[in-house]
Structure 1
Amino acid sequence: MLDAPDMPVTPTMQRVRGRAHVVMGAKGLRDLHQSGSAKAMLPKVHSKVPEVVFLNTSGGLTAGDRLDYRLEVEDGGALLGTTQTAERAYASVKGGADAEVAVDLVAGRGARLDWLPQETILFETSRLSRRTSAEIAGDARFLFTESLVLGRAAMGEVIETLHLTDRREIRRAGRLEFLEPLEIDAGLLAEREHPVTLNGARAIATIGLFEQGAEALAEVLKPITQDGVTAGVSGWNGKLLIRAMAGDGYPLRRYVARILKQIRQADLPRVWQV
Structure 2
Amino acid sequence: MAEAGGRAVNPPATFPGAGALRETGRMFALGIDVVRSAFRRPFQVREFIQQCWFVVSVTVLPTALVSIPFGAVIALQIGSLTRQIGAQSFTGAASVLAIIQQASPIVTALLIAGAGGSAICADLGSRKIREEIDAMEVLGVSPIQRLVVPRVLAAMLVSVLLNGMVSVVGVMGGYFFNVVLQDGTPGAYLASFAALAQLPDLWISEIKALIFGFIAGIVAAYRGLNPAGGPKGVGDAVNQAVVITFLLLFFVNFVLTTIYLQVVPAKGS
TM-score range, shorter chain: under 0.3
Q: RCO (CA 8 Å, sep 6+): is it higher in 1 or 2?
A: 2
**TM-score, structure 1 as length reference:** 0.24
- Structure with the larger strand share: 1
**TM-score, structure 2 as length reference:** 0.25
Look at both structures and tell me which one has the larger radius of gyration over its CA atoms: 2
